[in-house]
Structure 1
């Protein structure tokens, strides 16, 4: 065990013994999120726990300590022609792998390649009693059964301190193309559904209303022949040198996100891809749509929350605040739209099993 890990373990055991809350901190790049804001208690800094433990390019797996910067991991993978296919968002420099997994967020390619949690092969963690535990491994067959390692994805540090992660990586696609279409939202959703039933290398999509016109962007990735054939079949305008725009979509730096009014929160609506255009509250503009219709970003006041949640539930999904309208916005209670008593009971039992004293990131849920 490294000296840094031993010190972190000592801090956790001490906090458990004294019933002292701990605020787990990585790079702090998601502090804007209601579940990413600093929690009450003493800060438990994980950035010193950094470094690549193992990278075996031929096995398509990398194991790193939780404090390792995401951009450093991506740079290492790029040198071997590999990538984190789920495109983790990077809202600011300095994000760590532990924070990446704890937030569970995925980028534009999520609808085609899967979510972050699908790439987590194993984790090492400290539970609320300071016990060092390891789950999963470095190959897919080790994640059969009750998958505790993937349970850490999206836990926001409320269950355990992630100390080490093993991730599946993929080769960079041989070919890529971005197509542009002028379509309104209903037309774009219908077209995406039609394409979804065809053998096309669809990788990502983004629909946005730009100066009153609806525009759909579609990214194709795959073999050279497959991408060329899809471009010829789908039509549209082929764009060039647009990777920066997809990065901006991933990191919420597109003009649509920057134009958010100060009094508006950014809402995240997770829906079935087949959900129709939603009837949004009066005065709420059209959303930005990703994941072939499965993810819709809406800019609206927090007072519109009940209407947004009702619209999302009616379509078979959920709505939550992603960025609050102001510094006090963490008061927005509906971070998770959990109405099911059974889901609430599972959440409570997991918290009791991992952190019985409730010392990790208290007050976040």
Structure 2
């Protein structure tokens, strides 16, 4: 496939900015489209904008692998994949298509298909990174293989730019499903886990299960025969897929509530306990979005009782938006930061004050 006509390799300029920051001990605030600026702690430092470094470097649909520069928008990437009948299975939020490939990996946010297909990090095959030593290094590659030691390319997923500057990413992609069914069923939330187990045992190809406002929204994808069978079993009100786009982009009416937005990631076996506010249950109940005025301490206590963790998606509500780490795990994070970013120039404090 030919290169994107807007492609531009600005890696030399990015490397130079990092090297200057290292020499001057200046902190850098890495940004793409800033679509996730409200997530994490605020950063003070010189802005390093990746959007000029864009374009699809290589794409071989027969190999199910695409490599794109960090500033490439998801709209550009998904348009190229769609033309070949393929997709990013992890369904990351695109925020109107403006979110960038680098930001997608750095944030590690996955959509409704995540429990059935995998997370963003599961589809990262390799990347190029400017390290805190000022070197432009390549980690991983364009094939699935075993990795000895740290798999740095996947380690960067969800690091929010605290370990290095991602300049290029190679991703595994998959064919789009041949058929899909989008249906909505009136159902109490407490009935959802039992029903999902029954449908899973029956072999229904579920790739989305979200409960909100007394309605269970289901998405099934697969062959035409399996979808016809699922339709006969489920019934319900047929949809056109718009619900799943709005869920991915956080544009459902649920997200318009003025209260703080929290995401509680719970164990799959955790009970559907009442929550202090309005809840949207995604991932079959494992991801629980909550709009609430409850205190930070209250939400975090609830998450821990569910054997999970809570992240605040509203700026200015929590001093530590991400769930506090145990001392041992925090120590490992700090050691990784020291190895990859010894001068602490990349997004210092974005994840945690101590990193």
Q: Give the alignment's TM-score, normalised by structure 2.
A: 0.93
SS in 2 for 1:58: coil
Matched, 1:290 2:282: yes
* Partner residue in 2 for 1:16: 22
Shift of 1:240: 3.4
SS in 1 for 2:183: strand
Q: Across the two proteins, how many residue pairs are aligned to each other?
A: 344
Matched, 1:312 2:303: yes
SS in 2 for 1:141: coil
Gaps of 5+ in 1: none
Hey, what's the Cα distance between the residues in 1 that align with 2:150 and 2:125? 13
SS in 1 for 2:145: helix
Greater CA drift, 42-51 or 53-62: 42-51
Gaps of 5+ in 2: 1-7
Give runs of ≥4 in structure 1 deviating > 4 Å: 142-145
Hey, what's the Cα distance between the residues in 1 that align with 2:261 and 2:296? 11
Shift of 1:337: 1.8
SS in 2 for 1:296: strand
* Partner residue in 1 for 2:235: 236
* Partner residue in 2 for 1:159: 163
Hey, what's the Cα distance between the residues in 2 that align with 1:268 and 1:306? 14
* Aligned partner (choices 132, 136, 140) of residue 132 of structure 1: 136
Distance 1:100 1:14, change over 3 A: same
Q: Give the alignment's TM-score, normalised by structure 1.
A: 0.90
CA RMSD of aligned residues (A): 1.6
List aligned pairs for 1:196-215, cutoff 5 A: 196-209=200-213, 214-215=214-215
* Partner residue in 1 for 2:266: 271
Asked whether the equivalents of residues 181 and 238 of structure 2 are also in contact (C-alpha less than 8 Å), the reply is yes
Greater CA drift, 135-144 or 173-182: 135-144
Matched, 1:29 2:21: no
Q: Deviations over 1:209-252 (max 9, x none)?
A: 1xxxx11011000111111112222x2314132x2221001111
SS in 2 for 1:78: helix
Hey, what's the Cα distance between the residues in 2 that align with 1:248 and 1:189? 23
